[in-house]
Amino acid sequence: MKDVEPPKYKRKEADHYEVSEVALLVDALESEPLKYRLMVLLTLSCGLRAGELTGLKWDDINFKENTIKINKATQYLPMKMYLRRILKNETSERIISVPEHVMDLLSVYQTEYENKQEKHGDLWEDTNYIFTKWNGLHIHPETPGKWFSKM
């Protein structure tokens, strides 16, 4: 068996948007709910993976420095459980600078979030996740992608 060479894995190059396509996308987002607009803008400007995006908590945001700390990701398990886990390797942990206009939108969204929290009172689950369902529980890691494909 030592003489047998394992098959070579051919890595597929990731698809990406052209600058003109990103500009069209950002324009199209203007009429969308702030929550989803922020999901796309954070993904575009910070290069977040789906689990990293849905794993963000308010504690990860530094409004003074305009940065986001990426150190956890959410993962869905078949038993209908969600897990906020550490990232696969240490190099995945990072602090990312975020454009000021995105941080401004995040600040507006935080106010909306707090108003929603107050409105729902005892029904609100205080998970501290940024992107939640109506009751404060975290969203499925595939939610942003499913929404985006319908856009």
State the pLDDT at residue 62. Answer: 97
Residue ranges, the chain, pLDDT below 50: none
The secondary element (H helix, E strand) that includes residue 146 is: helix 143-150
φ and ψ at 97, to 5 degrees? -75, 135
Full set of structural domains in the chain with CATH: 20-115+123-150 (1.10.443.10)
DSSP structure string for 72-133: EEEEEETTTEEEEEE-SSGGG-EEEE--HHHHHHHHHHHHHHHHHHHHHGGG-----BSSB-
State the pLDDT at residue 65. Answer: 96
Contacts 24+ apart (CB under 8 A), 29-37: 32/151, 34/105, 34/108, 34/109, 34/112, 35/109, 35/131, 36/144, 36/147, 36/148, 36/151, 37/105
State the pLDDT at residue 106. Answer: 96
State the pLDDT at residue 86. Answer: 60
Residues 85 and 14: their CA atoms lie apart, in Å, by 25
State the pLDDT at residue 145. Answer: 79
Residues 8 and 71: their CA atoms lie apart, in Å, by 32
